[in-house]
Amino acid sequence: MDVIASRAFEVDGQPGFTIRIGRPTLAPEGDCWFCQYEIDGPLTKRRGRFGGEDAMQALVNALYCLAVDVEVSAENAEGKLSWLGERNDFGLPLPPKK
């Protein structure tokens, strides 16, 4: 994965939970784009990818998935995850509600 952005969070006030998002790539068939992401925490390890019609849509969709995965992480469920001292706002875009 060619990382284009990352963010470090704290777990119980200590570094140790990082998210990364990769550069969108065109599928081999050339019909859609994919964007990879990963979470590396003490309890949560996850890799995923999300697609879109173009690179922008793949990136936005991957950010939405990443935001949800951070929200449901074991570290957050235990109330230990924070970013810039905040436990309820991780600065990631959540999917729009319908």
Predicted confidence band at 96 (pLDDT cuts at 50, 70, 90)?
confident
With respect to residue 86, please indicate whether it lies within any of the assigned structural domains. Answer: no
With respect to residue 32, please indicate whether it lies within any of the assigned structural domains. Answer: yes
With respect to residue 55, please indicate whether it lies within any of the assigned structural domains. Answer: yes
Q: How many CB atoms lie within 10 A of CB 70?
A: 22
With respect to residue 92, please indicate whether it lies within any of the assigned structural domains. Answer: no
What's the domain range around 68?
A: 3-78
Record the pTM: 0.90
pLDDT of residue 88: 85
Burial class (CB in 10 A: 0-12, 13-18, 19+), 50: buried
With respect to residue 33, please indicate whether it lies within any of the assigned structural domains. Answer: yes
pLDDT tens digits for 73-85? 999 999 999 999 9
pLDDT tens digits for 24-67? 999 999 999 999 999 999 999 999 999 999 999 999 999 999 99
With respect to residue 83, please indicate whether it lies within any of the assigned structural domains. Answer: no
pLDDT of residue 16: 92
